[in-house]
Amino acid sequence: MRARFGAALAIAGGLIAAAPATAAAAQPAAADTVLRNGYVRTVDDRDSVRQALAVRDGKIVYVGSDRGARAYVGKRTKVVNLRGKMVMPGLQDAHIHVGLAGVRLAACNLEYAPLTTAQFQQKIQACLDRTRDKEPNGFLSVENWYRQAMVPAGTDATRATLDALDTRRPIVVNSSDGHSDLVNSAALALGGITAQTPDPANGKIVRDAAGEPTGILEDAAARIVSRKIPAPTPADNLEVTRVALDALRRAGVTSVMDQYGTDASAQAYATLRRRGDLTARINLAAGVDASVAARDPRKAVAPAFALRRRWDTGPLAPRAGIRVANIGELAQDGVLQAPAQTASFLEPYFVNAGTEDAPRWVPGRDRGPEPYLAKDKLADVTTLLLRGGISPSIHAIGDRAVRHTLDAFAIARKRVPGSRLPLSISHAESVHPTDLPRFKALGVAPAMAFQWAKPAADSIDAAKNELGPERFARTEPIGSLHRAGARVAAGSDWPVDPLNEFFMLQVGITRENPDGGARYRGRLGSDPLLPRAAAVRAITRNAAWAMQAEQQTGSLEPGKLADLIVLDRNLFRVPAKQIGRTKVLLTMVGGRVVWEAASGR
């Protein structure tokens, strides 16, 4: 994983090579690296564009013209002729699951594919056949099941779907959205789940008409079975983390807010850092248990502060390290898509009062669950975190959960009036129009997965009718939040979706699905499009702000850390529909090249 910045690194036909010194009495100290003849998108306060940039000791010392950069060239300076290529700050992902992504890359993987029941069974059976040595008791975990895209539309799987397979092993199939698991009868038995088992707090055991578990476990109910799966070893954690970081460096990601940080994930990062193989800045967002917070908020936040004491490597420096500056998404609800519908809304979901052939969608009675943590307890958690210097990040998707979270944030802001720490709401897929300006007023970053703002199975087949026309029109309100002054941050939620940060930006800019075909043609809803400059700022400087790192990263300015990427195309000059095909030619973290496309290292 280590990458050396060699003396002859090709970048799209340009070369890094030693350049002769032009000695002058007033000349500043020579830089380690100078990038010249490029399109340098700084993302400073004015979104300035420059030609050149100089790096010394892991920090940016100059941004300006090619002529001005000459003063920073010494005998040992490596000079890159960018040949007009675009340079921008390294990508910062404000909502991601690094360890889980590594697990899913290595696991039995359904690849987010739309599957018939027969195809679903065939793929899982193939995984079972490859691992016959695990019979009869070894768990099979299956990842990236795109539940909402089962075909034909409306198809769902049950434990019977898995029980038909040739195995005695317990099976857990994880929905790609991270909020639903499907398990077979063997796994239900291991979890002790029967018709008499009550739903846990903040979760649901889906049952058939006779009251028997169907095998679908929503949110906290999934943990009844998943906690029976043997914990991975430190070597397992290290390997999946290494695999995920390799994908991130190739994608141009230089900083992440890794959700649900634990001692185990911190140990993997610390080991890689000690070996010199940590290729991104890690903001380890500790988890907070909502069930504990409901009883004792102080006890619930204690693990986050303990994680910081044990693993935080201190102020940001050129060498990538570990910080604990946020908590991971404390969930207030689940997902809005059918059949789960665990997002919390102000008004009920719509139901079909007609027939399949002649549908008539009308408001039903179900608004989804109450927000998972009472407002006063959420305010207490937020207050304790702000006083301790940690920024809360809350998962809220339905407009009731979003309002509930904003109300709790408002209480905490009054209790801690001197705090300027950012607050975050992850996803915010449905925001009531009256709540849009509250994000700016309360200093809340909406951490949005832009790629969800397109017509697709999850937004059309599993949500359009159920949301009703008014709510559907304003779903995924990225542009509206931006217009209301919110500092929108981009968070891919990888591995809920495949890792493609530039595809995410493209969808935020167009709200279209380039792979949607006739069924998913056009744009999603009527929310305003996100300007390109705002999209780029969302995945750089705004994400840095959400992670308490804007003073050191997120833009290309003198004094900031040299976290940057070189691209194969200019995001501001190519057609918007080509942005998703962007390739990263070079990724630099603190002045160190961690990915070179030309060398494949």
- pLDDT tens digits, 159-173: 999 999 999 999 999
For residue range 100-141, list pLDDT tens digits in order: 888 888 789 998 899 999 999 999 999 999 999 999 999 999
Residues 208 and 113 in one domain: yes
For 496-532, what is each residue's pLDDT tens digit? 999 999 999 999 999 999 999 999 999 999 999 999 9
Instruction: Determine, yes or no, domain membership for 186.
Output: yes
Count CB-CB contacts under 10 A for residue 476.
27
Q: Are 165 and 128 in contact (CB under 8 A)?
A: yes
| Cα–Cα distance for residue pair 319/326, rounded to 1 Å | 20
| Residue 114 resides in a domain | yes
Over 90: is that where the pLDDT of 194 sits? yes
DSSP character at residue 387: H
Q: Are both 65 and 143 inside the same structural domain? A: no
pLDDT class for 177, splitting at 50, 70, 90?
confident
Mean pLDDT of 281-305: 96
Are 82 and 179 within one domain?
no
Residue 241: φ, ψ to 5°: -70, -40
| 187 and 131, same domain (yes or no) | yes
CA angle 72, 73, 79 (to 5 degrees): 115
Give me the pLDDT at residue 102, please.
87
Distance CA 120, CA 147 (A): 10
- Take residue 377 and report the two structure tokens written for it: 């307890």
Same domain, 215 and 104: yes
Residue that terminates a domain, selected from 226, 244, 272: 226
Structure tokens at 580: 């998703």
Angle at 486 between CA 480 and CA 489, to 5 degrees: 95
Q: How far apart are CA 574 and CA 576, in angstroms?
A: 6
Number of other residues whose CB lies within 10 A of the CB of residue 132:
11
**Do both 65 and 167 map to the same domain?**
no
Spatial contact of 563 and 550, defined as CB atoms under 8 Å apart: no
Q: Say which CATH number the domain at 111 has.
A: 3.10.310.70
Of 563, 48, 590, 1, the C-alpha closest to 244 is 1
List strand residue ranges (DSSP E) for 70-170, in order: 78-81, 86-89, 91-96, 108-109, 140-145
CA distances to 53, 309, 420, 545, 595 from 93, in Å: 24, 24, 21, 11, 17
Same domain, 130 and 173: yes
Tell me the C-alpha distance between 73 and 311, whole Å.
38
pLDDT value at residue 485: 98
Q: Specify the pLDDT at position 232.
A: 87
Check pLDDT > 50 for residue 291.
yes
Based on the fold, state whether residues 105 and 212 are members of the same structural domain.
yes
pTM (2 d.p.): 0.88
- What local confidence, expressed as pLDDT, does residue 6 receive? 38
Q: Are residues 132 and 65 in the same domain?
A: no
Which domain covers residue 200, as residue numbers?
100-226
Cα torsion 589, 592, 595, 598: sign: positive
pLDDT mean over 587-599 = 95
Bigger pLDDT: 599 vs 579 = 579
Helices (H) and strands (E) counted in the chain, each on its own, are 19, 29
Residue 179: which pLDDT band, with cuts at 50, 70 and 90? confident
Specify which residues 63 forms β-bridges with.
Answer: 53
Q: Within a domain: residue 45?
A: yes
Buried b / exposed e over 410-435, threshold 16 CB at 10 Å, is: bebbeeeeebebbbbbbbbbbbbeeb
- Would you call 383 helix, strand, or coil by DSSP? helix
Tens of pLDDT, residue by residue over 7-48, are 334 444 443 443 444 444 478 999 999 999 999 999 999 999
Give dist(CA 585, CA 601) in Å, integer: 11
- Which residues does 355 contact at the CB level (< 8 Å), separation at least 6? none
User: Quick one: 82 and 146 in the same domain?
Assistant: no
Average pLDDT, the chain: 94
Q: Helix crossing, 234-250 with 263-274: angle to 10°?
A: 70
Query: Does 395 fall in a domain?
Result: no
Query: Could you tell me where the DSSP H helices lie in 158-233?
Result: 159-163, 185-191, 222-226
Residue 467 lies in a domain: no
CATH number at residue 40: 2.30.40.10
Q: How confident is the model at residue 5 (pLDDT cuts 50, 70, 90)?
A: very low
Among residues 455, 573, 572, the alpha carbon closest in space to that of 511 is found at 455
- 156 and 57 in one domain? no
Of 226, 247, 273, the position where a domain reaches its end is 226
> Cα(437)–Cα(420) distance, rounded to whole angstroms?
18
In a domain, 205, yes or no: yes
Q: Are residues 86 and 105 in the same domain?
A: no
Task: Select from 209, 226, 243 the last residue of a domain.
Answer: 226
Say if 453 falls within a structural domain.
no
- At 352-379, the pLDDT tens digits run 999 989 999 999 999 999 999 999 999 9
Is residue 61 within 8 Å of residue 28, measured between CB atoms? yes
Structural domain count of the chain: 2
Q: pLDDT tier at 4 (50, 70, 90 boundaries)?
A: very low
